[in-house]
Amino acid sequence: MRFENSLAFAKELDEKDPLKKFRALFYFPLMDEKDVIYFTGNSLGLQPRQTQDYILRELEDWATYGVEGHFHSHIPWYHYKEYLSDSVAKLVGAKKEEVVVMNSLTVNLHLLLVSFYRPAGARFKIICEYDAFPSDLYAVQSQASVHGYNPDDAVIYLKPRNGEYCLRTEDVIKAIEDAGDSLATVMLGAVNFFTSAAHKVGATCGFNLAHAAGNVTMKLHDWNADYACFCSYKYLNAGPGSVSGIFVHEKHFGKHLPQFAGWWGNDPETRFKMPRTFEPVKAASAWALSNDPVLSMASLKSSLDIFDAAGMENLRSKSEMLTGYLEYIIKSINTKIEGRKLNLEIITPSDASQRGCQLSIIAHGLGKDLYNKLTEAGVLCDWREPNVMRAAPVPLYNSFEDVYRFGVILENILLK
């Protein structure tokens, strides 16, 4: 499509948007009694308006039934996670049995690494990104440490080439091949999938999907990923610190992998017989340790019901156009600030198939003052030192007019 940097054009795209009705289902923060331009769904998604009702219903059932709510509430708490599995499976491209909602993100990453990072002899290395989020780095480093390895020896860090900001697929595959028989597992952030290369050298392959779940279309089962974890407070809009989830490919069920066990991962057919020896259910829920955090899950269910209504393929289609429009607006601004020793460099891949809705932008010649001025003007994006601004137009609730207005505010700040 040929984009135009005009309000009329943005409004026209919004009018044609088949998903436009979903914007009204969310609360937007207010500044000077006006909705802010909210481009930080990559950090914390907006609250669906119906979430309060979902949580209140659970509180009412708790008040009405007490402990009997585990079996007599409108969604029996004992089985609550099962009411989320269909929706989650659709989002990550899995079978219902391959996913389970539980715990928090880094806890789940550790639980998965207990099972899928099994160093032995010369095979003890882990591949991850050099610039991974600290939680991921700490997880792989500490997993190596508890197995008696020096993380400096055990962890292979992947860096982009000099002068580049993104890993190249061929470089990741080469690193896997070079590690060969020394490689125990690959653990990368989305959106990267290198399962075939990892399996070829005898390693497992897993992913942290914190920035992928609810953002891009995935087919974890078909891609033969071994394991993955994801959070729900970003694109899945379940609220700060809300419950996380995992994927485990069905090929691992019944293999009796080493794992930390809990009563709620026991086969439900024998669970209430209180077996003294753990009998894992043949599903991803075997990794569940504790009973369901119902209030947090109710918040997630509220958002998942909206995703089911919108459809991930529809959301992805809009996302590619919406983020493409943001890219176009940024480039338009660059032509106007040329000669001011300023430049906005988009370091996210330009190929829409290789990115989600977020654009990372290096603000050359500018510091955090740019971010502060945007915030004061009613734009909420986020900042990573020393000079990277991240903006994420989320297709579920952001509009093309949001993108246009963002561009107007950004341009005005830069041209002053």
* Residue 332 reports pLDDT greater than 80: yes
* Residue 191 reports pLDDT greater than 70: no
* Residue 194 reports pLDDT greater than 80: no
Q: Which tens digit of pLDDT belongs to each residue from 351-388?
A: 998 899 999 999 888 888 999 999 999 999 999 888 89
* Residue 302 reports pLDDT greater than 70: yes
Average pLDDT on 148-168 reads 94
CATH architecture of 7-47+311-415: Alpha-Beta Complex (3.90)
Structural tokens at position 165: 């900001």
* Residue 297 reports pLDDT greater than 90: yes
Q: Which tens digit of pLDDT belongs to each residue from 104-132?
A: 999 999 999 999 999 999 999 999 999 88
pTM: 0.95
Class of domain 81-291: alpha beta
pLDDT band at 249 (very low <50, low <70, confident <90, very high): very high
Average pLDDT on 181-185 reads 98
When the pLDDT of each residue in the chain is averaged and rounded to a whole number, the result is 95
pLDDT at 193: 59
* Residue 192 reports pLDDT greater than 80: no
pLDDT at 131: 87
The domain limits of the chain are: 7-47+311-415, 81-291
First to last CA, the chain: 31
Q: Which tens digit of pLDDT belongs to each residue from 44-100?
A: 999 999 999 999 999 999 999 999 999 999 999 999 999 999 999 999 999 999 999
pLDDT band at 155 (very low <50, low <70, confident <90, very high): very high
pLDDT at 189: 85
Average pLDDT on 270-294 reads 94
Does this chain's domain 7-47+311-415 share its CATH topology with 81-291?
Answer: no
CB 222 within 8 A of CB 215: no
* Residue 195 reports pLDDT greater than 90: no
